[in-house]
Amino acid sequence: MELLEAAEVPQYLKEIAMQCPFSCQATAMECDEEDLEDDDDARHLVEEQIYVDAPGPEPCGGTDLAKYRKAIAAASALTKITFMAQANNGGTLGQNILDHGSPGRKGTVTYKYRRYGDDKDTGIEYPKYEEPRRDTKATHALITLPAISGTEDMPPGGYPFTVAAHHLIPGNGSLKASELWHYINKTGERGAEAIKMKVNVKGKSQERSIKINGNIGYNVNGSHNGVWLPGNYAMNRRNAPEGVKSWNERTDEWKLAYISGVEAHINGQFHDSHSEYNKNIAVNFLNAIERQFYAHIAKCPICINKGDDEFSPSYSLIKVLVKASHYLRQKVSGNPGEWRKPYLTSETA
């Protein structure tokens, strides 16, 4: 549960108990006049922003549901927004990191609940990770290994190495594998299913099939969810230098020496398969939040009185996911002496 504590999830779960996370509405797009440039292309420099409407919802223990319904009805009459999602791939993530720490494609909702547009100069603020690649291809750096068995073929200067973008919260391995997937996507889209549950209303048990009516706009490929980590890519059969053995031809002793060398140079963990890492994120973080959401719906008077298809996306989840990625970046980079299971991105070492 260390991840939950460090990512400030307990505070978020406390907020769930105080105010309904499904009370936010994505309202009409508006612009901030201060962000307009005085030139012919001013209309293209409008900062589009989603105002996450907080129409004064009562805390979950409140009783003024009529006031709440009236505010929600007014908000629902405003323009709805459809969010886009990128494919889950390290290539896109890497491009976003290099692209000034981009949060992702247009339609992504950022930490401040703003809709990210095409223009980079509109003053949009969002947590980002902007870092250049530091590998052989980018900097011509090489890794020199100690004189152990297998290093007889080491080229002058050392062996090449490559870094790739690692998803701190893996899309397919963790996010889509978790129960939270059904809360962050619109029901019926991208594999998100209705949330089946039983609730007690006036002493009677009722079965419900909760449907989320929109996507929260979180982008798993935004720079906030990435970090450059080294792997064995430069030493596989296709990329290894001529006359040099490939990765699969190497001894365990050589592999461990190579892994230690590139990790020390990059200050980041070696990256290959990491099923335990994926499972930890899904089970100990994402599913833990989902359980609180499930319990909340079952007892919240606001949620109990909503129709099954009236549940808005919980945009506040974006903040939690971004903070978790920031925490995980510290766990897989920096001082190797502080790396611990289950936050290991390699099952080789």
DSSP per residue, 85-138:
-----HHHHHHHHHTTS---STT-B-TTS-B--S-S-S------------SHHH
Q: pLDDT at position 40, please?
A: 25
User: Are residues 226 and 97 in contact, defined by beta-carbon separation less than 8 angstroms?
Assistant: yes
Check pLDDT > 90 for residue 232.
yes
Check pLDDT > 90 for residue 266.
yes
End-to-end CA distance of the chain: 24
Q: pLDDT at position 107, please?
A: 62
Q: How confident is the model at residue 124 (pLDDT cuts 50, 70, 90)?
A: very low
3-state helix, strand, coil in the chain (%, to 5): 40, 10, 50
Q: Which of 7-11, 83-87, 310-314, 332-336 has the lowest mean pLDDT?
A: 83-87
Check pLDDT > 70 for residue 29.
no
User: Are residues 85 and 221 in contact, defined by beta-carbon separation less than 8 angstroms?
Assistant: no
Which of 219, 48, 220, 225 lies closest to 128, judged by CA? 225
Check pLDDT > 70 for residue 346.
yes
User: Are residues 322 and 168 in contact, defined by beta-carbon separation less than 8 angstroms?
Assistant: no
What are the backbone dihedrals phi and psi of residue 135, each rounded to the nearest 5 degrees, phi first? -135, -175
Q: pLDDT at position 126, please?
A: 57
Q: How confident is the model at residue 81 (pLDDT cuts 50, 70, 90)?
A: very low
Check pLDDT > 70 for residue 207.
yes
Q: pLDDT at position 34, please?
A: 23
Cα angle 17-219-319, degrees, rounded to a multiple of 5: 30
Q: pLDDT at position 102, please?
A: 81
Residues 263-279 have a mean pLDDT of 92
H or E element, residue 205: strand 204-210
Neighbours of 281 (CB within 10 A): 26
pTM confidence score:
0.75
**Which has more confidence, 176 or 111?**
176
**Which has more confidence, 277 or 83?**
277
DSSP code at position 335:
-
Which of 163, 164, 162, 175 lies closest to 93, judged by CA? 164
Check pLDDT > 60 for residue 45.
no
DSSP code at position 341:
T
Q: Which of 100-109, 168-177, 231-240 has the lowest mean pLDDT?
A: 100-109
What are the backbone dihedrals phi and psi of residue 287, each rounded to the nearest 5 degrees, phi first? -70, -30
d(CA 316, CA 9): 11
Q: How confident is the model at residue 13 (pLDDT cuts 50, 70, 90)?
A: low
**Which has more confidence, 27 or 159?**
159
Q: Is the peptide bond before 241 cis (omega within 30 degrees of 0)?
A: no
Q: pLDDT at position 78, please?
A: 34
Q: How confident is the model at residue 2 (pLDDT cuts 50, 70, 90)?
A: low
